[in-house]
Amino acid sequence: SIGEVFLARNVQEGDSYSFTALVQGDEEALNALTLARAGVEDAGYAEAADTCLALPATVERGVYDLAAQITAGAEGDFAMAAAIRDWLAENCRYTLEVDYPPEDRDFVSYFLLDSREGYCSYFASAMAVLCRAVGLPARYVEGFVAQPGSDGFAYVTGKDAHAWTEVYFEGFGWVPFDATPQQQ
């Protein structure tokens, strides 16, 4: 239920595991559901807000302005998060060849306001910051993408490492969002 797997021993050649997972589906229905659940008493929301809304003072004012611009007109929290995800995927370029920000610049501010180039960690960090800037509790997540092949098995290696963002919706819980553009 929490999306994590821990083993009590080192992985050994020939190991195999079976998982069943819910796959996020119809975003229109999910948006309607999160709207309907907003305001429902939710002890988890208070914890998420306490731990996943803070931003460092180094985040530049332009990031807050960009977040407001991206989410203007979005109806509901889910629509705001989806707008942020879509903006990042459409306006920033995926690359492993990145310039590091100047020492006096915040990493995410530099990515969003200047370079707009990076890999999954950049996109996940930027989405978490943009969500927090508009009041959506968000957290950065690292893990692996397991894509089953034609045989129905997913062979997961270090090359499948990935980062994404989870956003908490009051009365509903954590929902994953992947802002990294699809690689061709």
Q: Digits of tens for pLDDT over the chain (184 positions)?
A: 455 566 678 878 887 776 665 556 788 888 888 888 888 888 899 999 999 999 999 999 999 999 999 999 999 999 999 999 999 999 999 999 998 899 999 999 999 999 999 999 999 999 999 999 999 999 999 988 878 889 888 888 788 889 999 999 999 899 999 999 986 4
Q: Is 114 a catalytic residue?
A: no
Beta bridge mates, 93: 117
Query: Taking the model in full, what pTM does it have?
Result: 0.85
Cα distance between residue 50 and residue 10, in whole Å: 35
168: exposed, middle or buried (Cβ count in 10 Å: 0-12, 13-18, 19+): buried
Which residue among 92, 106, 131, 178 is the active-site one? 178
Indicate the angle between helix axes 120-133 and 61-71, nearest 10 degrees.
80
Asked if 98 contacts 143 with a C-beta cutoff of 8 angstroms, the reply is no
Q: Is 120 a catalytic residue?
A: yes
Asked if 183 contacts 94 with a C-beta cutoff of 8 angstroms, the reply is yes
Which residue among 77, 92, 106, 120 is the active-site one? 120
* Alpha-carbon dihedral angle through residues 72, 78, 81, 86, given to the nearest 10 degrees: -90
Q: Is 52 a catalytic residue?
A: no
Asked if 164 contacts 180 with a C-beta cutoff of 8 angstroms, the reply is yes
Number of alpha carbons in the 13 Å side-chain half-sphere of residue 89: 14
